[in-house]
Chains A and B, each alone.
Chain A
Amino acid sequence: MITRRQFVRRLGLSAAVLPFLPALPSLGAPSKKPVQRIIFVFTPNGTVQPDFWLDAAGEFTAETKMKRILAPLDPFKSRMLMLKGLSNKIRGDGDGHMRGMSCLLTGIELFPGNIQGGSHSPAGWPKGLSIDQELRNHLQADAATRTRFGSLEIGVNVPNRADPWTRWSYAGPNQPLAPVSDPYDLFEKLYGRMKDRESLGSVLDEVSEDLRAVAAKLPAEEKAMLEKNATFVREMERELREDGGRRLRHAPPKLEQGVPVDNDGMPKVTAMQSELLVNAIANDMARVATLDFTNSVGQARMRWLGIDDGHHQLSHDADSNTASQEKLVKINTWFAEQLAALAKRLDAIPEPGGNGTMLDNTTILWTNELGKGNSHSLDNIPFVFVGGGLGFKRGRMEKYENEPHNRLWLSLAHAFGRDIKTFGNKDLSSGGPLALA
């Protein structure tokens, strides 16, 4: 994660390559091939299985109603695909949480290392890259699908320490990618310091006013120097006025200022990150993204739902503790609402140069570090697809018998035209891609 301050530091160090007014991406010519995009969404601590899955696999009917957790996704039912029975079968070093998060997108073991979980042997970073980066590299290798960033790693309240509990996207062995968890930082990454530049516009006005007052009383030579300076101020004002995002297909969102980036700010931060993400992909800055809520063993306290307990703490409580299970359902339902809001945003934007909406060409994949919190099980991990573009048959729930999730990543790779035989652990790739079409 980059803080604003760190960004500033970097800015300073590499100022030569970062002009003050960044060139914003121009309108790309619409590609002939249909655009494919994918957004991986992570939430922690497992789900409440009975309130998540439908009672039976198969195609949805008009009568099919989602269970409580997924109810917010009902409007997208026809564009949904639920995969039950997939398991993260990576073993070796690291506890369930570490492997749950860091082996989720990578499908490969962790190196031995010095990070000790609640059980098992200590471990380090995973031994390979994650599927989002595999897809990113594939798209970036082709000029027709290449975008400014390739992929965006976005977080919501991800702690700013780097370890296998806080990272899930990897550029390669030992190469964790830090998500940007502060929407103001993300804004800067995408659009430069536009917000500060907006402030600057009004400020420069005042400076000009005072410049005139001061210059009026000065001897000629000093006056000349100030007047020269005043022309630069005016030029910058004009550039700021003219630049306001006109080269973008979609103008940058107007972020509410001063939102605290902390636990209680989470609902607002989520909305901001989601808006920025949609805006960025609508402007074709990236076609792959990850969005992670907190971290493995994340301790969000969803006080806005009337829940004061930490999420991870609750997830340890027994199935028989109905009060806790109820809270966990509420928490996961809240996550589903955020997913629905994201899908809705994408569905509101027509696909440029194509048919349908952006959601029709964007797959949102919601997954989790665990199947179930209190057992720390890596079996039956939730995998829910919303959206389209991958050619998968939707409007159904598929049931597998404890298949390794590596096969799912192969399916994704193939859907993107990346014809690989294995991903991550070779043995767990056996059987090849799951047939989802």
Chain B
Amino acid sequence: MMRFRLTFVLGVALSPLAMGAVEETGAAIFKRLCAGCHGRAGQGVADKYDEPLQGERGVESLAKLIDRTMPDEHPEKLDAAGSRAVAEYIHGAFYSPQARAKNNPARREPARLTNRQFRESVADLIGSFLPPTPPAEGRGLLGEYFSSDGMNKKAKAAFGRVDLRMDFDFGEGAPQEGMKKEQFSIGWNGSLLVDHTGVYEFRIKTPNGARLYVNPDLRDGDKNSRDDSDAKRDVAMIDAWVSSGEQVREEKGAIFLLGGRRYPLRFDYFKYKDKRGSVTLEWKPPHGAWSVLAAPHIVPTSAPRVAVVATAFPADDGSTGFERGTSVSKAWHEATTKAAIEAAVEVSLRLGALAGTRSDVVKLKEFVAKFAARAFRRPLTDGQRELYVGRHFAEGVPPEVAVKRAVLAILKSPRFLFPELGAPDDHTAASRLALALWDSLPDAPLAEAAGKGELRTPGQLGAQAERMIHDPRAKAKIAEFFRHWLAVEFADDVTKDAAEFPGFDAALVADLRRSLELFVEGVVWGDASDWRQLLLAETIFLNERLAKFYGATPPVGEFDEVKFSPEQRAGIFTHPFLLSVFAYNKSSSPIHRGVFLTRNIMGRFLKPPPQAVEFKEEKFNPSLTMREKVTELTKKAACQSCHTTINPLGFSLEHYDAVGRWRETDGKKPVDAAADYTTPDGEVVKLRGARDLAQFTATSEDARRSFVRQMFQFLVKQAPASHGADTLQKLDKTFVESGTNIRKLAAEIAVAAALLPSPRPATASAR
């Protein structure tokens, strides 16, 4: 409340020059005519107009609106000049984003780890004690083929090869000439590449025997496939080893995995005197459809097990448009506790590999101390060493139990959960870089640089960010950002009228999503990494199914980049996945498309609709076009304040039907995709369709800054202004200078977040 009053006084005090003999100042007019309903500082008045006067209109546009509509029911009481004076006043005093930023300067909000940050941190913390996972090379799984001899499934090695698709039908024969037809076995080894975080389902179909291991902790006994072997091995995720007559059995399993990582995968198969031999391994990634597990998702070399925390967390606060860890709740506390137990169990089970010993107390203490320092992102003080390490190794406590308790305490410690506790120091810079680019902990080079005080200048930070951006974790996080920016993460249930759009099924939707992701990935990780390419590109990724559905020439490979007519399409705006997501079951939806464009692309603020209006197709004359129906539906003044922005943007995409196919007519009438879009500054832009929209967006400062802001928020989990009022402006300048290079922007954002006002010596950690 206080700051509103202050602002008001300030506004008056700064206007003495306008206090001419006759002319009333904007402030005075506002006080006289407006404050009764809007409050003296535009904060709103209960039972009158309770929403704060905030928005993104420019003075011009605001003046016109006031002149036309205000005071409510008596707009004649205020002429154009008076309206303009009021507009200027409120714009500078509290209405505009700049005024709001000035009144309420942003600062970094205290934050805990987000759920993603917790999971990524634990995976890297435990993984940091194992050999690093080398980059994935090649695709497919390495298959080793054997002739069997009764119980001995691997009696005689026949041959080896890399298999690209886990779908085999050997009929009544053998995989290769010279092998026994009636008994043979195959062991496939390698790893699995996954893009998304979530539950992955798998299923085996075979009349023979098969076992699947995903992310196992491979042990010595695993290669032994004698039927009567009691060798210790990991438990199969799917065990379909025993056949039942000639029946083709189907066995399922599921596992939670983190996106952007590589997981060991083993698949064992054998046929023994069954009539026919065949085996298919299928998977269903999150948001995907069932399909045969195949390249490019499989790699012929193995990888160490990833420590995945599968505990379900309550959703992070996403109320400000990006997920951030700004609140704690009992549910979160319980989830982190359960997750800490899960991690402690993992550590104790793999202690031999992680610590190099299960019993040597000196070594185990050293392991726990390192574990704590990495988790806390800084060296331990003596007191912390005693509290988190020494105390657990008391007399009579078995070393394994001591380690488990220590790991629990470390992961429940505020020093792990709240990465920004206390005064910032060099290690804070390392932590911020790692969180911004990976959602994880600093790696060894970062920690070392922090220790040497080498993370203080933009140059030093930039060099680290440049190195880090090429890590798969950065790639995964940036991919997450694009899913967020393009609202793909919410598009879980895209279904269309089956009679109207035959062939638009779950598999096609999964392909569309993949097509969009491939496109974005191609632009972001291509040479130019140019943001404008996302908008202006003249290509799309299609596979056979998509090409058939959208009437293009089917490509040769799985997915291929296909050129389209630039008159008809442009970049992401016309990608059929987004067009389908933002559409009704049978028809297009200019409102959904328009809201997406207004918010996510133009970065404009939309208030919730003043009244709930449902679009009911059947209420309209069927001869009307969708554009006409929407115009009719939103014609009320109460709707217009937002729909003057939403509708034109949405209408510019009216050439695309509910599944994103190009159309010339809507019903019997030709499509009208021409629309006038008014910018926040009051400039009117004539759009004749998607290409115009894309070209306008590519040159729009608003759209570009909105992109920079959204990326900053997603990466840093804070508002850009919290790192200085001009952060956004500076980043935008560098973004433009780099040729709107997305990768460079991500690195610059991380640097901006990590750069401390006055670097403190590393020893500041002794707190």
The segment from B226-234, B618-626, B693-701 found at the interface with A is: B226-234
Q: Which of B230, B254, B338, B400 has the most CB of A within 10 A?
A: B230
> What are 14 A-B contacts defined by CB distance under 8 Å?
A3-B234, A5-B346, A13-B310, A116-B150, A124-B245, A163-B227, A196-B344, A203-B412, A206-B387, A209-B387, A211-B414, A221-B109, A229-B328, A232-B334
Q: Check if A206 sits within 8 Å of B272, measured CB to CB.
A: no
Cα A235 to Cα B330 in complex, Å, equals: 9
Q: Which residues of A contact B387 (CB under 8 A)?
A: 206, 209-210
Q: How far is the CB of B497 from chain A (nearest CB, A)?
A: 32
User: Nearest CB to that of A222 among chain B residues?
Assistant: B110
Q: Which residues of A contact B627 (CB under 8 A)?
A: none
Q: Which residues of B contact A4 (CB under 8 A)?
A: 345, 349
Per-position binary interface string of chain A over residues 264-298, scored 1 when its CB falls under 8 Å from any chain B CB and 0 otherwise: 00000000000000000000000000000001010
Q: List 19 additional A-B contacts (Cβ < 8 Å) besides A16-B312, A113-B242, A124-B244.
A: A1-B235, A9-B310, A11-B311, A12-B311, A13-B254, A15-B310, A20-B338, A113-B244, A114-B274, A115-B209, A115-B241, A124-B242, A125-B244, A160-B235, A196-B345, A207-B414, A211-B414, A214-B415, A218-B422
Q: Which residues of A contact B209 (CB under 8 A)?
A: 114-115
The segment from B48-56, B93-101, B402-410 found at the interface with A is: B402-410
Q: Check if B391 sits within 8 Å of A116, measured CB to CB.
A: no
Assuming the A-B contacts A9-B256, A200-B408, A228-B328, are A217 and B208 also in contact, with contact meaning beta carbons closer than 8 angstroms in the complex?
Answer: no
Partner of B330, one of A121, A176, A196, A232: A232
Assuming the A-B contacts A9-B256, A114-B271, A116-B227, are A214 and B239 also in contact, with contact meaning beta carbons closer than 8 angstroms in the complex?
Answer: no
Does B730 count as interface, using CB distance less than 8 angstroms?
no
Cα A114 to Cα B182 in complex, Å, equals: 10
Cα A352 to Cα B561 in complex, Å, equals: 74
Q: Which residues of A contact B334 (CB under 8 A)?
A: 20, 232, 236
Q: Check if B342 sits within 8 Å of A11, measured CB to CB.
A: yes
Q: Check if A217 sits within 8 Å of B256, measured CB to CB.
A: no
Cα A160 to Cα B229 in complex, Å, equals: 10
Partner of A2, one of B150, B217, B235, B400: B235
B residues near A (Cβ < 8 Å) are 109-110, 112, 150-151, 199, 208-209, 217, 227-230, 232-235, 239, 241-245, 249, 254-256, 270-274, 309-312, 327-330, 333-334, 337-338, 341-342, 344-346, 349, 384, 387-388, 391, 398, 400-401, 404-405, 408-409, 412-415, 417-418, 420-422, 767
Assuming the A-B contacts A114-B274, A229-B333, are A206 and B409 also in contact, with contact meaning beta carbons closer than 8 angstroms in the complex?
Answer: yes
Assuming the A-B contacts A116-B151, A163-B227, A222-B110, are A210 and B309 also in contact, with contact meaning beta carbons closer than 8 angstroms in the complex?
Answer: no
Residues facing B in A88-142 (CB within 8 A) are 111-116, 121-122, 124-125
10 nearest A-B residue pairs (beta carbon): A12-B310, A232-B333, A15-B312, A222-B110, A114-B272, A114-B243, A258-B398, A113-B243, A203-B409, A159-B230
Cα A222 to Cα B239 in complex, Å, equals: 50
User: Nearest CB to that of A188 among chain B residues?
Assistant: B345
Q: Check if A193 sits within 8 Å of B244, measured CB to CB.
A: no
Cα A143 to Cα B109 in complex, Å, equals: 55
Does A430 count as interface, using CB distance less than 8 angstroms?
no
Q: Check if B408 sits within 8 Å of A199, measured CB to CB.
A: yes
Assuming the A-B contacts A12-B312, A20-B334, are A214 and B242 also in contact, with contact meaning beta carbons closer than 8 angstroms in the complex?
Answer: no
Q: Check if B242 sits within 8 Å of A162, measured CB to CB.
A: yes
Q: Check if A164 sits within 8 Å of B112, measured CB to CB.
A: no
Residues facing B in A199-241 (CB within 8 A) are 199-200, 202-204, 206-207, 209-211, 214-215, 217-218, 221-222, 225-226, 228-229, 232-233, 235-236
Does A53 count as interface, using CB distance less than 8 angstroms?
no
Q: Which residues of A contact B408 (CB under 8 A)?
A: 196, 199-200, 203
Per-position binary interface string of chain A over residues 150-164, scored 1 when its CB falls under 8 Å from any chain B CB and 0 otherwise: 000000000111111
Residues facing B in A140-193 (CB within 8 A) are 159-165, 174, 176, 193
Partner of B415, one of A114, A159, A210, A233: A210
Does A26 count as interface, using CB distance less than 8 angstroms?
no
User: Nearest CB to that of A102 among chain B residues?
Assistant: B242
Q: How far is the CB of B708 from chain A (nearest CB, A)?
A: 27
Q: How far is the CB of B353 from chain A (nearest CB, A)?
A: 14
Cα A199 to Cα B398 in complex, Å, equals: 13
Q: By the criterion of a CB under 8 Å from any partner CB, how many residues of chain A are at the interface?
A: 65
Q: Check if B346 sits within 8 Å of A258, measured CB to CB.
A: no
Q: Which of A124, A207, A226 has the most CB of B within 10 A?
A: A207
Cα A111 to Cα B274 in complex, Å, equals: 12
Cα A389 to Cα B1 in complex, Å, equals: 77
Q: How far is the CB of B197 from chain A (nearest CB, A)?
A: 12
Q: How far is the CB of B120 from chain A (nearest CB, A)?
A: 16
Q: How far is the CB of B320 from chain A (nearest CB, A)?
A: 16
Cα A221 to Cα B328 in complex, Å, equals: 13
Assuming the A-B contacts A125-B242, A210-B415, are A257 and B333 also in contact, with contact meaning beta carbons closer than 8 angstroms in the complex?
Answer: no
Does A299 count as interface, using CB distance less than 8 angstroms?
yes
User: Nearest CB to that of A12 among chain B residues?
Assistant: B310
Partner of A162, one of B239, B249, B254, B327: B239
Partner of B228, one of A6, A12, A112, A297: A297
Q: Which residues of A contact B418 (CB under 8 A)?
A: 222, 225-226
Q: Check if B242 sits within 8 Å of A8, measured CB to CB.
A: no
Q: Check if B309 sits within 8 Å of A12, measured CB to CB.
A: yes
Q: Which residues of B contact A297 (CB under 8 A)?
A: 228
Cα A242 to Cα B233 in complex, Å, equals: 39
Q: How far is the CB of B764 from chain A (nearest CB, A)?
A: 12
Q: How far is the CB of A318 from chain B (nearest CB, A)?
A: 22
Q: Which residues of B contact A116 (CB under 8 A)?
A: 150-151, 227, 272-273
Q: Which residues of B contact A209 (CB under 8 A)?
A: 387
Q: Which residues of B contact A161 (CB under 8 A)?
A: 229, 233, 239, 241
Q: Check if A210 sits within 8 Å of B413, measured CB to CB.
A: yes
Q: How far is the CB of A267 from chain B (nearest CB, A)?
A: 18
Q: How far is the CB of B265 from chain A (nearest CB, A)?
A: 15
Q: Which residues of A contact B349 (CB under 8 A)?
A: 4-5
Per-position binary interface string of chain A over residues 393-429, scored 1 when its CB falls under 8 Å from any chain B CB and 0 otherwise: 0000000000000000000000000000000000000
Q: Check if B413 sits within 8 Å of A13, measured CB to CB.
A: no
Assuming the A-B contacts A159-B230, A199-B405, are A193 and B341 also in contact, with contact meaning beta carbons closer than 8 angstroms in the complex?
Answer: yes
Q: Check if A164 sits within 8 Å of B242, measured CB to CB.
A: yes
Q: Which residues of B contact A121 (CB under 8 A)?
A: 273
Q: Check if B242 sits within 8 Å of A115, measured CB to CB.
A: yes
Assuming the A-B contacts A15-B312, A20-B334, A236-B337, are A207 and B409 also in contact, with contact meaning beta carbons closer than 8 angstroms in the complex?
Answer: yes
Partner of B346, one of A8, A202, A203: A8
Cα A125 to Cα B245 in complex, Å, equals: 10
Partner of B345, one of A5, A20, A221, A228: A5
Assuming the A-B contacts A5-B346, A12-B342, A218-B422, are A202 and B405 also in contact, with contact meaning beta carbons closer than 8 angstroms in the complex?
Answer: yes
Q: Check if B400 sits within 8 Å of A217, measured CB to CB.
A: no
Q: How far is the CB of A375 from chain B (nearest CB, A)?
A: 20
Assuming the A-B contacts A9-B310, A204-B412, A206-B391, are A217 and B344 also in contact, with contact meaning beta carbons closer than 8 angstroms in the complex?
Answer: no
Q: Check if B328 sits within 8 Å of A225, measured CB to CB.
A: yes
Assuming the A-B contacts A15-B312, A160-B233, A232-B328, are A8 and B342 also in contact, with contact meaning beta carbons closer than 8 angstroms in the complex?
Answer: yes
Partner of A122, one of B232, B241, B273: B273
Q: Which residues of A contact B415 (CB under 8 A)?
A: 210, 214
Q: Check if A111 sits within 8 Å of B245, measured CB to CB.
A: yes
Q: How far is the CB of B700 from chain A (nearest CB, A)?
A: 36
User: Nearest CB to that of B109 among chain A residues?
Assistant: A221
Cα A211 to Cα B208 in complex, Å, equals: 57
Cα A46 to Cα B227 in complex, Å, equals: 21
Q: How far is the CB of B413 from chain A (nearest CB, A)?
A: 6
Q: How far is the CB of A118 from chain B (nearest CB, A)?
A: 8
Q: Check if B244 sits within 8 Å of A214, measured CB to CB.
A: no
Q: Which residues of B contact A262 (CB under 8 A)?
A: 232
Q: How far is the CB of A313 from chain B (nearest CB, A)?
A: 12
Q: Check if A163 sits within 8 Å of B242, measured CB to CB.
A: yes
Cα A12 to Cα B119 in complex, Å, equals: 12
Cα A204 to Cα B405 in complex, Å, equals: 10
Assuming the A-B contacts A5-B349, A114-B272, A116-B150, are A20 and B337 also in contact, with contact meaning beta carbons closer than 8 angstroms in the complex?
Answer: yes
Q: Check if B401 sits within 8 Å of A258, measured CB to CB.
A: yes
